[in-house]
Structure 1
Amino acid sequence: MIFGRVKPLDAILATAEKKSLHRSLGALQLTLFGVGCIIGTGIFVLTSVGAQKAGPGLLISFVIAGAVCIVAALCYAEIASMVPVAGSAYTYSYAVQGEFLAWTVGWALLLEYAVGASAVSVGWSNYFIGTVVERSWGIDFPTWLSAGPVFLGGQPGGFINLPALLIALLMTGLLVIGTSESAKFNAILVAVKVTALTAFVVLTLPEMKTDNFTPFAPGGLFGGFGSGVGIVGAAATMFFAYVGFDAVSTAAEETKNPQRNVPIGLIGSLLICTIFYMLVTAGAVGSIGGQPVMGADGVPLPTGETLATQCATAQFAEALVCSREPLAHVLHTIGYGTVGNLIGYAAFIALPSVILILLFGQTRIFFVMARDGLLPEALSRVHPRWKTPHVVTIITGLIVAVAAAFFPVGALADIANAGTLYAFLMVAIAVWQLRRIDPNRRRAFRVPAVGLVATLTVIGCVFLFFNLPLEAMLVLPAWTAIGLVFYGLYGYRHSHLGRGIVEVHEPEIHELAPEIPGVDEAR
């Protein structure tokens, strides 16, 4: 029975020790990884999209999305410190809900990481073309090299998004070289984006006008089922910008002292990013306004041809919601053109860190699924010199690069959210179940009031899911059905657990002894 295939936690830990990744990351690097993924897409790419859905009410949208992430982060912190191996929600589900549901979680995470990486690659391309090539260099970048073909949703005259393709391949190569090297590179990019956002806050907050926050919620609290607009609809979209902390848990197997450092990286990165989101949004909306373009029915127009037509008119050409470079546009509007250009360059420099972390998370999940036999085991090979899963990294990077080259950003963030919310829901259930079935296992971090926190996480994830656009909601069941075909044809038959290949970890004497500061680091 597929629902009876539950892999014991001891077996998961034993497998990880036998074919493990190099442990090189500390608490600071993990926090920077989380900050690198969270701060970027939402602020530099999706701020104008969120304002079009919610208007000034986007401030509340960030609060709603952040609240769901906080309770989800607590669940992740406990289970990641208990199971310090790669695989994130997939591994956790395997240990509690069983192989079948674990496969659906791992498959759904492809929507989060790979689709997200492709979307951010396209977003980076927009900044590169608009800020660097056209505005700074004065070169008219050809359309056929900057967008996919029109029949795939691109622009008329488009053929391939060459910059998006190249940046995805570059980040793939960096990950192949090594995790430690990637973390150092990411730390530099995080410093750039934090500096840029700090400058933005300092310049825009003094320019805030209370009139720009009226009306506060032009799209209402709920825009209607399947509409994806309103404050809650914007929260469902902006959730995409918060989910970087999940990538931290995927790095648990490559973390030194994971029982301590994983919770620090998870919660620390989320708190830092939440503060920045609120301050930057207040500065942007308060300084130049953030009212959406409304349709004839009094509802904010969704992304599409009609909105694009309105944004091309003189009335809305300078609106925040119509800008492709929202933060740079705000600074240009209030008279800080030079700094605005620097903000554009900061986005151009920093967005690759988001692509890096999303690729990192996806490859590690595929690595563990292959190690469990659900995917071809060749994917779990570790490079003898760089100690990274180079085969799966290269394959994943090629897929992401091709998608970025030929498909537009469009509704990719909403599609990615559908898979992410499902995975987070399963993690919350797993934490609650483990408290019941394995209460005595050591937990370096324990969720306070776990029943309440897990329940709030489940409710929050379901709530945001049903406030996504209808098209995004339908993607998840369709994608799951495709995944089940793959599982039936390969994973079910080749699963190590299904074939009785289960390694049970017998603790050694030193593992039963109390932890002594300095001893574990020396081992």
Structure 2
Amino acid sequence: MNLTLGQKLIRTKAVVPHKDPAAPPADISSSGLARTLGLFPLTMIGVGATIGTGIFLTMAEAVPKAGPAVILSFLIAALTAGLTALCYAELAGRIPASGSSYSFAYATVGEFAAFIMAACLLLEYGLAASATAIGWSDYLNNFLVNAFGFHIPEALRSSMFISGKNGLEVHGGHFNLPPVLLVILCGILLIRGTRESATTNAIMVLIKLAILIFFVAVALTGFNMDNFHPFFLADVVNKPGGMAGVAAAAGTVFFSFIGLDTIATAGEEVKNPTRNVPIAIISALLIVTLFYMLVAVSALGAQPAHMFEGQSAGLAVILQNVTGAAWPALVLSAGAIISVFSVTLVTIYGQTRILYAISRDGLIPKTFQKVNAKTHAPVQNTLIVCVVVGCVAGLVDSTFLWDMVSMGTLTAFMVVSVAVPVIRHKQGSHMPNKGFKVPFGPYLIPALSICACLYIMKDLSLTTFRVFAVWMTVAVITYFTYGIRNSRLNKN
């Protein structure tokens, strides 16, 4: 049967009913990936992909936009992520596959929309990994200064291409080496296998949670309520102030909730995914929101809002200013080095699993789905991702990367929200879901989630929308020149 172009664009993958969640899961999924992840390491993957970027790196970007009201920005971002987390929890229980929202879209709204979603996820994960690796360089330098009095030479910790006041600036001879070394270390761990990577990540997550508790305890000794007045920024040039500034800052920090999506990318490597994936998503969100709020309040109480702008290794500097000693900053920088390492690790992991899922469906070359027989890890896939992420991190400034990641994340979250009522309609009563279900029916929570995402998205910069439009154009061209002809559904 020959399908029309329209039918090809909306064709969907079959949704296969799950076995009883109480039944012992197979050690190897049907795709060849090993089911090695339990509930705790899976939750730590979500926390590891989230805590670190939003706190250690983006305060310097978000506080200048909103002032002390950045606390509301974190709350808005958390509320939006919470609404979407409920949608993720149901879909992950129904469709426990690698690929996260890409797989959800393919099973519900069709192949073309799924490919566009895949492009958003690749943008989201690739740039997030590069941006967090770049931020790691500042904390590494702060640690070396406080511990040994050694500065990494400027030419080896700054990018060649930087966004300046007058547009793009090219600094010949500059290369940001520390982020590239970080990406190499992450690649080595991921090639060794998922179990080893997850165990390493869980240890690093517990360490950084302890470091953040240490930060809150020390910062509160210098807490000054006057730092919260005025709560909203006044309207000045390039600073919208008021709720406009809060919304703009929410767009900047929203990318840090990427960890919810990362949990869903591991669906085919999770033991009892129908139960564990939804619980891990909701648990990670609660842990992350609690720590974000504690650190944001204590940081703003310890330092006036105007001092955050342009501040590198900001939390370490705050502790040094509060105590007048170097050792608290040394401890914080060491924690940040571990923290951002874990964020980069799980973000690269998520990128490789999304590429794996797309390749398995025939929409991109088969290289990305080849799995090592010994480690059950997609080695070639991982190497390619690490090369691309390392090049971006070593050469490009991170100024615009945060908002681009937020754009990709918000788009993915909206598609996930749309997929909930569609999957309920497709499965009907003949395919009951024994896992989590979105409360209040299939329409209310998804609709609120979409509205919240649009509210945050509207305040992203015009440059972000332009770059996103170019990326989407490339994705459409790729689909019609390669994906639509090589799709497994097309061959079937």
Is this a same-fold pair by TM over 0.5?
A: yes
User: Compared with structure 1, are the counterparts of its residues 333 and 489 closer, same or farther at alpha carbon in structure 2 (3 Å cutoff)?
Assistant: same
* Aligned residue number for residue 427 of structure 1: 416
Q: CA RMSD in A?
A: 2.3
Give the C-alpha shift of residue 229 in structure 1. Answer: 6.4
Q: Secondary structure at the match of 2:34?
A: coil
* Aligned residue number for residue 159 of structure 2: 148
Does residue 1:458 correspond to 2:444, yes or no?
no
User: Compared with structure 1, are the counterparts of its residues 406 and 224 closer, same or farther at alpha carbon in structure 2 (3 Å cutoff)?
Assistant: closer
Q: What is the alpha-carbon distance in structure 2 between the residues aligned to residue 445 and residue 74 of structure 1?
A: 8
Paired letter, 1:182: S
Q: Secondary structure at the match of 1:9?
A: coil
Q: Secondary structure at the match of 1:416?
A: helix
Does residue 1:119 correspond to 2:131, yes or no?
yes
Q: What is the alpha-carbon distance in structure 1 between the residues aligned to residue 239 and residue 314 of structure 2?
A: 27
Does residue 1:448 correspond to 2:454, yes or no?
no
* Aligned residue number for residue 359 of structure 2: 370
Contact 1:465 1:473 (C-alpha < 8 Å) held by counterparts:
no
User: Compared with structure 1, are the counterparts of its residues 43 and 30 closer, same or farther at alpha carbon in structure 2 (3 Å cutoff)?
Assistant: same
Q: What is the alpha-carbon distance in structure 2 between the residues aligned to residue 471 and residue 210 of structure 1?
A: 36
Q: Secondary structure at the match of 1:181?
A: helix
Q: Secondary structure at the match of 1:243?
A: helix
Does residue 1:88 correspond to 2:100, yes or no?
yes
Does residue 1:60 correspond to 2:75, yes or no?
no
User: For residues 186-223 of structure 1, what are the alpha-carbon distances to aligned partners after superposition, in whole Å with 9 as ceiling and x for unaligned?
Assistant: 111111110110011122234322211111011569x8
Give the C-alpha shift of residue 233 in structure 1. Answer: 0.4
User: For residues 39-89 of structure 1, what are the alpha-carbon distances to aligned partners after superposition, in whole Å with 9 as ceiling and x for unaligned?
Assistant: 001111111211111100010000000000000000000000101110100
Contact 2:93 2:436 (C-alpha < 8 Å) held by counterparts:
yes
Give the C-alpha shift of residue 228 in structure 1. Answer: 11
Q: What is the alpha-carbon distance in structure 2 between the residues aligned to residue 220 and residue 25 of structure 1?
A: 49
In structure 2, which of residues 57, 61, 73 is the aligned counterpart of residue 45 of structure 1? 57
Q: What is the alpha-carbon distance in structure 2 between the residues aligned to residue 186 and residue 224 of structure 1?
A: 37
Q: Secondary structure at the match of 1:104?
A: helix
User: For residues 94-148 of structure 1, what are the alpha-carbon distances to aligned partners after superposition, in whole Å with 9 as ceiling and x for unaligned?
Assistant: 011110000000011111101100011111112112x133343222322222222
User: Compared with structure 1, are the counterparts of its residues 174 and 219 closer, same or farther at alpha carbon in structure 2 (3 Å cutoff)?
Assistant: farther
Contact 1:31 1:265 (C-alpha < 8 Å) held by counterparts:
yes
Paired letter, 1:288: Q
Following superposition of structure 1 onto structure 2, how do residues 212-251 of structure 1 map, counting pairs within 5 Å? Answer: 212-219=227-234, 230-251=245-266
User: Compared with structure 1, are the counterparts of its residues 11 and 394 closer, same or farther at alpha carbon in structure 2 (3 Å cutoff)?
Assistant: farther
Q: What is the alpha-carbon distance in structure 1 between the residues aligned to residue 37 and residue 365 of structure 2?
A: 28
Give the C-alpha shift of residue 158 in structure 1. Answer: 4.5
User: Compared with structure 1, are the counterparts of its residues 228 and 471 closer, same or farther at alpha carbon in structure 2 (3 Å cutoff)?
Assistant: farther
* Aligned residue number for residue 318 of structure 2: 330
Aligned residues: 469
Contact 2:51 2:339 (C-alpha < 8 Å) held by counterparts:
no
Contact 2:162 2:397 (C-alpha < 8 Å) held by counterparts:
no
User: For residues 348-390 of structure 1, what are the alpha-carbon distances to aligned partners after superposition, in whole Å with 9 as ceiling and x for unaligned?
Assistant: 1221100011101110010011000001123211100001111
* Aligned residue number for residue 482 of structure 2: 490
* Aligned residue number for residue 197 of structure 2: 182
Q: What is the alpha-carbon distance in structure 2 between the residues aligned to residue 356 and residue 219 of structure 1?
A: 39
Does residue 1:343 correspond to 2:358, yes or no?
no
Give the C-alpha shift of residue 150 in structure 1. Answer: 4.4
Q: What is the alpha-carbon distance in structure 2 between the residues aligned to residue 177 and residue 154 of structure 1?
A: 39
User: Compared with structure 1, are the counterparts of its residues 460 and 62 closer, same or farther at alpha carbon in structure 2 (3 Å cutoff)?
Assistant: same
Contact 2:139 2:333 (C-alpha < 8 Å) held by counterparts:
yes
User: Compared with structure 1, are the counterparts of its residues 50 and 380 closer, same or farther at alpha carbon in structure 2 (3 Å cutoff)?
Assistant: same
In structure 1, which of residues 265, 273, 276 is the aligned counterpart of residue 280 of structure 2? 265
Does residue 1:138 correspond to 2:152, yes or no?
no
Q: What is the alpha-carbon distance in structure 1 between the residues aligned to residue 322 and residue 436 of structure 2?
A: 46
Contact 1:82 1:442 (C-alpha < 8 Å) held by counterparts:
no
Q: What is the alpha-carbon distance in structure 2 between the residues aligned to residue 220 and residue 260 of structure 1?
A: 48
Contact 1:366 1:379 (C-alpha < 8 Å) held by counterparts:
yes
* Aligned residue number for residue 491 of structure 2: 499
Following superposition of structure 1 onto structure 2, how do residues 274-353 of structure 1 map, counting pairs within 5 Å? Answer: 274-291=289-306, 319-335=307-323, 337=325, 338-353=327-342
Q: What is the alpha-carbon distance in structure 2 between the residues aligned to residue 367 and residue 95 of structure 1?
A: 16
Q: What is the alpha-carbon distance in structure 1 between the residues aligned to residue 384 and residue 117 of structure 2?
A: 20
* Aligned residue number for residue 10 of structure 1: 16
Q: Secondary structure at the match of 2:96?
A: coil
Contact 2:363 2:487 (C-alpha < 8 Å) held by counterparts:
yes
Contact 1:53 1:219 (C-alpha < 8 Å) held by counterparts:
no
Contact 1:26 1:255 (C-alpha < 8 Å) held by counterparts:
yes
User: Compared with structure 1, are the counterparts of its residues 151 and 75 closer, same or farther at alpha carbon in structure 2 (3 Å cutoff)?
Assistant: closer
Structure 2: runs of 5+ lacking an equivalent: 20-27
User: Compared with structure 1, are the counterparts of its residues 151 and 279 closer, same or farther at alpha carbon in structure 2 (3 Å cutoff)?
Assistant: closer
- After alignment, is 474-483 or 105-114 more displaced? 474-483
What is the TM-score normalised by the length of structure 2? 0.91
Q: What is the alpha-carbon distance in structure 2 between the residues aligned to residue 12 and residue 494 of structure 1?
A: 28
Structure 1: runs of 5+ lacking an equivalent: 292-318, 501-523
Give the C-alpha shift of residue 329 in structure 1. Answer: 1.3
Contact 1:26 1:261 (C-alpha < 8 Å) held by counterparts:
yes
In structure 1, which of residues 170, 173, 193 is the aligned counterpart of residue 208 of structure 2? 193
